[in-house]
Structure 1
Amino acid sequence: MFTGIVQGTASVVSIEEKPNFRTHTVTLPPALLPGLELGASVAHNGCCLTVTAIDGDRISFDLIKETLRITNLGEIRVGDVVNIERAARFSDEIGGHLMSGHIMTTADIVKIVNAENNREIWFKPQDQSQMKYILHKGFIGIDGISLTVGDVSKSRFCVHLIPETLARTTLGAKKLGARVNIEIDPHTQAIVDTVERVLAKREAALADAVALAASQREEA
């Protein structure tokens, strides 16, 4: 599990390509190295990856076909920078919201509004079916960053970023058209899905009652 509080950024220093598979190596900041072991979980742009090799501060991770398909990590090139977060421990402060590191979809940046001391960025999810889970003032994970949703329209949503977020994460350098990873808040997803199921059952029961009443009238 992760908290969505990015602990630093890391440069990708090498990429080994194989059919439907990739190993990339990053240089981790010194503060994130203590206690790191093979098999540990580290989020890259919000995507949970497993440590497969450690060589000083050069840490390697394997990316399978599904990861490359669903996330923006398949677009990463040597020299690019990713947001990094080590897996949370029970004693850690949850400054953002609990995140699993499982990316649901990606979104394109479609609008950037700059104002004094803040920035508003609009995103359009590739999978539009996810929009029903994106609610005003709800939680969302964007490239591993826990953020609060601002305005929401039928097909897009925005977030408001303070200077600290822009300075500490990769969002400060993102341009129009850039693709980011999206993780939907699982609690919101569970609530929306539950409400939909309850309403669907209620509508079905109402339809059956109407049909039964009509049938009884015809028999009479």
Structure 2
Amino acid sequence: MFTGIVQATCEVVAINKKDGLNTLEVAMEPELREGLITGASVANNGVCLTVTRIKDDRVFFDVMEETLSVTNLTKLQVGSQVNIERSLTFGREIGGHILSGHIHTQARVCGLSNTSEHFNIELEVDKKWMNYILYKGFVGVNGCSLTIGATTENRFMLHLIPETLKLTNLDLLELGDKLNIEIDSQTQAIVDTVERVLAQRGLTDSLNSVG
């Protein structure tokens, strides 16, 4: 489990590509590697990956074909910066919201506004996901826990503070880039439950009217 509070951006220094599998080699600072062991979970751009090897300042992750097909990790190149968060430790302060590291979809950057007063991002997703993307709710974006701004039929706004830009790779975005999206699990559960109850109630009312 993760909190969506990115700890650092780290450089991808090598990518070993095989059929159905990419091995990422990521350079990490000593404080990020402290206590890290093989088998541990680390979020890379919000994707929960397992540490397969540690050598000096390099940490290795295997990315399977299914993960590559649904996330932006397939677009990484040597020199890319990835958002890194170590897994949640019991007793640690939770400053964001609980994330699983399992990506639901990707969003396309369709608008950027960067001025001395603000940094705004407009993202576009498949319409079906907007049921769970609600004004003032939470969403995981490349592993960052962010508050949702204004929404439309298939777009939503993000308003980023300087601290978020300093610690993440979101300040490197360009129009057309794809970002990993993880829906807030509590929001999804509530929306799905309400829809199911309303659908069942509608069916019951229909049967009663026929009877």
Shared fold per TM-score greater than 0.5: yes
C-alpha distance after superposition, 1:98-150 (max 9, x if no partner): 1110100000000112233321111011x331110000000100000000000
What does residue 46 of structure 1 align with? 46
Between the aligned partners of 1:210 and 1:116, the Cα distance in structure 2 is 61
Partner of 1:122: 122
> What is the TM-score with the length of structure 2 in the denominator?
0.98
Q: Which moved more, 1:113-122 or 1:58-67?
A: 113-122
Root mean square deviation, CA, Å: 0.8
The Cα offsets for residues 58-81 of structure 1, whole Å up to 9 and x where unpaired, read as 010000011000100011011111
1:147 paired with 2:146, answer yes
Contact 2:39 2:52 in 1 (8 A): yes
1:21 paired residue number: 21
Give, in whole Å, the separation in 2 of the partners of 1:22 and 1:142: 22
1-structure distance, mates of 2:136, 2:115: 20
* Equivalent residues in 2 for 1:33-72, closer than 5 Å: 33-72=33-72
> In 2, distance between residues paired with 1:91 and 1:180?
30
CA–CA separation in structure 1 for the residues paired with 2:133 and 2:30: 36
- Is this contact kept in 2: 1:112–1:122, CA < 8 A? yes
SS across alignment from 2:5: coil
The unaligned stretches of length 5 or more in structure 1 are 213-220
**Equivalents in 1 of 2:117, 2:28: separation in Å?**
29
Name the structure 2 match of 1:100: 100
Contact 1:103 1:182 in 2 (8 A): yes
Correspondence 1:135 to 2:134: yes
Counterpart residue type for residue 158 of structure 1: M
Q: Distance in 2 between matches of 1:140 and 1:198?
A: 24
Q: How many residues align?
A: 211
- Flag the structure with larger Rg: 1
Rounded Cα–Cα distance in structure 1 between residues aligned with 2:66 and 2:110: 25
CA distance in 2: counterparts of 1:92 and 1:67, whole angstroms:
28
Tell me by how many angstroms 1:177 deviates: 0.6
Superposed displacement of residue 41, structure 1: 0.3
Contact 1:109 1:123 in 2 (8 A): yes
TM-score by length of 1: 0.94
2:6 counterpart residue number: 6
Distance 1:29 1:43 in 2: 15
Aligned to 1:192: 191
Report the counterpart of residue 85 of structure 2 in structure 1.
85
Corresponding letter in the other structure for 1:116? S
What are the superposed Cα offsets for residues 34-60 of structure 1, whole Å, 9 maximum, x if unpaired? 100000000000000000010011010
CA contact (8 A) 1:117 1:163 kept: no
User: In structure 1, what residue type is equivalent to 2:124?
Assistant: K
1:26, 1:59 within 8 Å by CA — same for their partners in 2?
yes
Q: Please state how far the C-alpha of 1:192 moved relative to its aligned partner.
A: 0.1
Structure 2: gaps spanning 5 or more residues: none
Aligned partner of 1:79: which letter?
G
